[in-house]
Amino acid sequence: MDLTLIARDDVFPLSRARAAGIDQAELRALLRAGRCHRLHHGWFSTRAPADDEDHHRLRLAALLQQYAGVAVASDASALLLLGLPTYEPDWAVAHLMRTRPTGKAHAKPGLIVRPALEHPDAHRLPGTSHTVHPAVAVALAGLRHPCSFLVPADAALGRGLVSADALQLGADVLGRRPGISRVRAALPLCDARHESAGETVTAWVLRQLGYRAVPQYAVPDTGTWTPGGLGYRADFGIVGTRVLVEFDGRLKYRSEKDLWDEKQREDRIRSLGWEVVRLTWGDLRHPERVRALVDAALQRAHRARRPA
């Protein structure tokens, strides 16, 4: 049987399989043949998950059908459906929120169902048929760590999904939940100029280390090398210095031409007396390494400017 006929969003329940005449023995045979894959109790997918994130997406598709009209995706689960980036999410746990005050919250391995928001202003942040409002999802995700808030918040601001006021309200409607203080502390740091999760985390680490950095820094005197004379922009410029900081993500260089263009760009910037610090995810996970790299660049820039 073609399982896509009984699947919705690539998933189907045992009850639907039985209604289509697939008995337990045939379902076991389909599982052994790799034609379907077990997601959680009573639910299956018609394709193999590509990775942990994709497995989470398939489980969400199943859970949203199970809880249709009762709960929607929240926390990082909602961010995934909204296409917003996340910071070190736990894809082993799906998050839902009830849409009505009736019905109890509950948690079990791999699933947390939150109660509906009871704050009087919650109605000002309406969700969709599948997710809570983006501002609520961002705030809930941020209860874990400031970057868990900042990464999706910056992206949501940049894409126009939320406003600064909505992010503030998203924090307000959560009340006094554990972790809300770190969300409130991170609110003033949100910045739509951060163009990737890596840039957001770079800004956070630089700030924690005591550096003042300007995002999307326009490098002076580079207009002659760019169309329209706009000049080069660095991810960050350290205020009052000739040190620039760039975040290097894996997707930044898709071809040899990308690598060559970036090398040429950096060589030109360095020729004007700028020091460039390149940071990776590995560096950001070790702030002391970031400090050493930036301080070394600051020292080189200072020596270069001293009169002979």
- State whether residue 254 is helix, strand or coil: coil
What is d(CA 150, CA 153) in angstroms, rounded to the nearest whole number?
Answer: 5
Q: Of the candidates 189, 215, 234, which is a domain's last residue?
A: 189
Q: Is the pTM of this model over 0.85?
A: yes
Regarding whether 274 and 181 lie in a shared domain, the answer is: no
Indicate the angle between helix axes 146-158 and 134-141, nearest 10 degrees.
160
**How many domains does the chain contain in total?**
2
- State whether residue 228 is helix, strand or coil: helix
What is d(CA 132, CA 29) in angstroms, rounded to the nearest whole number?
Answer: 38
267 located within any domain: yes
Q: What are phi and psi of 273, to 5 degrees?
A: 95, 15
128 located within any domain: yes
Q: Of the candidates 189, 219, 238, which is a domain's last residue?
A: 189
Q: Which pLDDT score is estimated for 305?
A: 77
Q: Which pLDDT score is estimated for 250?
A: 62
Regarding whether 110 and 68 lie in a shared domain, the answer is: yes
Q: Of the candidates 189, 209, 238, which is a domain's last residue?
A: 189
Regarding whether 253 and 149 lie in a shared domain, the answer is: no
Mean pLDDT by 10 residues, the chain (308 residues): 94 97 96 97 97 98 97 98 98 97 89 96 96 98 97 98 98 96 98 97 98 98 94 97 91 68 92 96 97 98 78
Regarding whether 290 and 235 lie in a shared domain, the answer is: yes
Q: Which pLDDT score is estimated for 102?
A: 84
Regarding whether 58 and 147 lie in a shared domain, the answer is: yes
58-63: long-range contacts, CB 8 A cutoff, minimum separation 24: 58/10, 58/11, 59/94, 59/110, 60/94, 61/8, 61/9, 61/10, 61/11, 62/11, 62/13, 63/94, 63/96, 63/111
Regarding whether 164 and 243 lie in a shared domain, the answer is: no
Regarding whether 216 and 264 lie in a shared domain, the answer is: yes
Regarding whether 55 and 171 lie in a shared domain, the answer is: yes
Of how many residues is the chain composed?
308
Alpha helices (runs of H) in the chain, residue ranges in sequence order: 14-19, 24-32, 52-66, 75-82, 134-141, 146-158, 164-172, 180-186, 197-208, 256-271, 281-284, 287-305
7 located within any domain: no
Q: Which pLDDT score is estimated for 52?
A: 98
Q: Which pLDDT score is estimated for 257?
A: 78
Regarding whether 207 and 160 lie in a shared domain, the answer is: no
97 located within any domain: yes
Regarding whether 235 and 161 lie in a shared domain, the answer is: no
14 located within any domain: no
Regarding whether 89 and 183 lie in a shared domain, the answer is: yes
15 located within any domain: no
CB 111 within 8 A of CB 176: no
2 located within any domain: no
30 located within any domain: no
Domain that holds residue 253: 197-305
Regarding whether 167 and 205 lie in a shared domain, the answer is: no
CATH of the domain at 204: 3.40.960.10
